[in-house]
Structure 1
Amino acid sequence: MKAGCCWRSSLIFALHLVVTAAAASHEVFDEDLSLRPLRDGKLMANFQFTTHLKGSSPRDPQALSDDDNAQHYTVFPLALGQLLREYAVTELHLSLNAGRWDYDAWGYPEESGVGTGGELWAWMGESTTSSLDRRWSGLRNGLGGLFCASLGHLDEQRTTSPYLTFQPEGALPNFTYPHQLRHAILASQHVCTENLTPFLKLLPCKSSSGIATLLNPHKLFDADWHGLSVHVRYIEEIGVELRLTFQGVFDPVRYSHDARRDWSLHSLFDRTIERACPVARRSKVRVELPGDPSPYSITPDPTTVANGIATYEVDAKIEALDVALRWPEEEHFVYPKSSEVPPLADISVHRTLKGVNQANAQFALSVRNNLPVEVRTGYLETMPWHLQFYLHTLEARVDGVLRDDLVSVLAYTPPEPHGRPALLQAALTLPAHATLVLTMDVAKAFLRYTEHQPDAQRGWDLPPAVLAPFAFGNGSALRPGSGRSTRVYTPALLVDLATPDFSMPYNVIIMSCTLIALIFGSVFNQLTRRFVVVRLDRASATPDPKADAGVAESPRDEGRDR
């Protein structure tokens, strides 16, 4: 009887292993680290963790009233999967960035979403059972709680639907009703350690093994630019794809005591890859070899070298990996002069807001085409209702000459005070090696005193503008071979609105409290205190301590003395 019980237990355990292995075969996890030296001595690092749910598809929003099918995840993060199923999200993109990406000096990033602050956009199918705006509200609040970010502030005052610029990067299933886009950006939201911790919890190996071991917050948030992002899309041939990325631009010259650009994994992250993640199907470290003529050395020897990329395979056989790139003949790094080197980006964008008062200003956008051919680009401006465009004053000039033929496909949605923001979309034609300057008058709104931020004197952060080069050909600007769009973000702006003197209420409160205290104290003393005459006996040799202290005796004590 005892042997039979053990046999049944062994059989159940074996079946459990088979079921677990079968479930895991439908989930594939890959991790990659790309390291790219930049010409200004900095280093671009891109961590990418990809999970595929094979054979899976997004939930039909029309079936939200019915019970959802049970989801058994082995590698895919359950917390994120529940949000996607609860609100029937087909495609999701979230990015949290800190700093300013320099396109001219660093080129285009691996992940396009490098706008300053927090950005969230999603494609969701419409439904008659639950409104899309209600699901959008639940999604942003759920993501805000998951990543400890202020995504709940991405309310109706910051939400738009810019279809021309943000095209789906995956496939959209044929549901009963069409899909809709929701996009919002919060320039004042930055990334910090409290966002990285829940980000690491979504990984199957967390930060205990694999490439994620290098995600040291003390080093990551010391970078010149850093940001994390979450991307979910549906691929018909594969299923649902989840891509978690972290990008950072590090400065080895600043870390070095002798102004050298030599770097290693340990010098950058204060850690090395000790062991591989056991559930990763593929784990690779890619290093783009320098193209400058200076001799360099890379250690240890890479697994493969192809097309100027040195690849290291991180598997169970490896003991500890510490990739190092050095320039032995270089005494110290010499920064290149920006005037002598061409910009790495196809277009250079600058945006300003000029004005001498707190009621009106002039908005200017300068776009420089660095290519020898004409370029068409999509332009998106999402402006809070605090700033109102005067669209009839829009002018386009090239080298000071007015050009009316360079702005087309103009779409403008005016703002609603205390409601939705303004949405401006247009197609711009950029002549070869020329600078297009757009100018427009704007009006600054007068806010209620309850609508001002706690740091009202600092001003309001305006979200960055977005340009999609080579757009409107197939609806979006796609990076060749990646299926991901290429977008250019301008830096955020700071606008100074009419702000009341919040120190006056404080002064009035202090003065009122002082007067009340004086008046009330005087009246209270007159009503409650008794003043009596204290007679001192001068013949007494010992002074009365109560009399010296100026304390009057009560009539009861006087009677006792007599």
Structure 2
Amino acid sequence: CSLQAGLAVLLKAERLFHSSYHSQAVHIRPVCRVGSRLSSLPEHPNRKSTLDASCVAVSWELRQTLTVVFDVFSSGQGKKDWSLFKMFSRTLTDACPLASQSKVYVDISPKNKEKELLEVTPPPTSVHEAVVQGDKKTYAVYDLLSPSLFNTSRSLNVQLKWKRPQDSSEMPIPVLHAQRYVGGYGLQSGEICTLIYNTHPYRAFPVILLETVPWYLRLYVHTLTIITKGKENKPS
């Protein structure tokens, strides 16, 4: 469908390149076909497989992702309200005819224990609850394949508005978050520091760190230093 239908309609280059952050990724992995169910192949031949013994047909799964971060609070003159049109200068018109699924998820989880006074329009087709990193999350789901979604209008502009005057309190920090900065100067003392925080009281999370190195920095692997809880971990 290219940019003519579906979620790809929002991919307007002018808006994406003026966002606070954007990145693309391609994930490829082998999957095993067992009837209509897809399961991951074991990562190591000696690892015990949880697949059905009758699995003999192997396929490759291709997944493309696009991550975009908009700072609507700064660009919106301190307002937390946002909409698809404000961020992308476009709205959704319909689903791609070739897509088996096409959904928009909006996180409407309250940042405090008390229910937040926020409103999402138009009303979602369903509400989904899930546990993410130990926290209960609530999502408003818009199914673009649902006939009722485009009954009144051929344009879907998801909007989130606050029903009460907005305070100046900062947004809650995720349980697992990171900070990154460049320090020093020159090839001798220049460095990249990445701080990863896990504030969960007892749970550990696997982390894959991918660094995007500025063009003006030259890195040397032997200078890599990993410090956990004040102690240095030397790579084996």
User: TM-score scaled to structure 2, two decimals?
Assistant: 0.63
> Where do 1:29-48 residues align within 5 Å?
none
Query: Residue 346 of structure 1: CA displacement?
Result: 3.6
Secondary structure at 2:15 match in 1: helix
Q: Deviations over 1:82-134 (max 9, x none)?
A: xxxxxxxxxxxxxxxxxxxxxxxxxxxxxxxxxxxxxxxxxxxxxxxxxxxxx
**Equivalent residue letter for 2:6:** G
1:286 aligns with one of 77, 101, 105:
105
Counterpart position of 2:42: none
Q: CA deviation at 1:218?
A: 1.6
Paired AA for residue 79 in structure 2: R
2:85 is paired with a residue whose SS is helix
Query: Partners in 2 of 1:256 and 1:224 — Cα distance?
Result: 14
Secondary structure of 2:86's counterpart equals helix
Structure having the higher strand fraction is 2
| d(CA) in 2 for partners of 1:311, 1:336 | 26
Where do 1:417-496 residues align within 5 Å? none
1:405-457 residue CA offsets vs partner (Å, 9 max, x unmatched)? x636x33xxxxxxxxxxxxxxxxxxxxxxxxxxxxxxxxxxxxxxxxxxxxxx
> What corresponds to 2:127 in structure 1?
305
Q: Give unmatched runs, 5+ long, in structure 1.
A: 1-204, 412-562
**Hey, what does 1:240 align to over in structure 2?**
60
Structure 1's 313 and 229: CA in aligned 2 closer, same or farther, altered over 3 A? same
Shift of 1:290: 3.4
2:50 corresponds to: none
**How far apart in 2 are the matches of 1:362 and 1:226?**
23
Tell me by how many angstroms 1:379 deviates: 8.9
- Distance in 1, matches of 2:87 and 2:192, equals 40
Specify the code of the residue in structure 1 equivalent to 2:158. V
Structure 1 pair 270–234 and aligned structure 2 pair: CA distance change class (3 A) = same
Task: Give distance in 1, aligned partners of 2:95 and 2:223.
Answer: 58
Name the TM-score, length of structure 1 as normaliser: 0.29
Higher Cα Rg: structure 1 or 2?
1
Q: What's the counterpart of residue 71 of structure 1? A: none
Of residues 301, 312, 336, the one that matches 2:170 is: 336
Other-structure match for 2:49: none
Matches within 5 A, 1:126-145: none
Q: Distance in 1 between matches of 2:221 and 2:91?
A: 52
Measure the CA separation in 1 of the matches of 2:194 and 2:91: 44
Identify the residue that residue 88 of structure 2 maps to in structure 1: 269
Instruction: Give the Cα separation in 2 of the matches to 1:296 and 1:366.
Output: 33
> Does the CA-based 8 Å contact 1:211-1:273 persist in structure 2?
yes
User: Does the residue aligned with 1:329 lie in a helix, a strand or coil?
Assistant: coil
Once the two structures are superposed, residues 119-165 of structure 1 have per-residue CA deviations (whole angstroms, 9 ceiling, x without a partner) of xxxxxxxxxxxxxxxxxxxxxxxxxxxxxxxxxxxxxxxxxxxxxxx
Deviation string 1:350-394 (CA, Å, 9 cap, x unpaired) is: 676657x86577897766553445969789899998647379xx7
Residue aligned with 1:236, SS: strand
* Deviations 1:332-352, CA, capped at 9 Å, x for gaps: 452418xxx6x4244656676
User: Would you tell me which structure has more helix in proportion to its own residues?
Assistant: 1
The answer to whether the Cα contact below 8 Å between 1:284 and 1:311 also exists between their aligned partners in 2 is: yes
- Shift of residue 240, structure 1, vs aligned partner: 2.0
Total equivalences in the alignment: 192
**Distance of aligned partners of 1:273 and 1:233 in 2 relative to their CA distance in 1, 3 Å threshold:** same
The answer for the alignment partner of 1:296 in structure 2 is 118
The answer to whether the 8 Å contact 1:276/1:315 transfers is yes
1:327, distance to aligned residue in structure 2 (A): 0.6
Q: Can you give the 5+ residue segments of structure 2 that lack an aligned partner in the other structure?
A: 39-58, 130-137
Query: 1: CA distance between counterparts of 2:95 and 2:226?
Result: 57
User: Which residue in 1 is equivalent to 2:23?
Assistant: 227
Give the letter aligned to residue 168 of structure 2: V
Q: CA deviation at 1:304?
A: 0.9
Deviation at 1:243, TM superposition (A): 1.3
| Distance change >3 Å, CA 271–CA 236, structure 1 → 2 | same
Deviation at 1:294, TM superposition (A): 3.3
Quote the offset at 1:305 in angstroms: 1.3
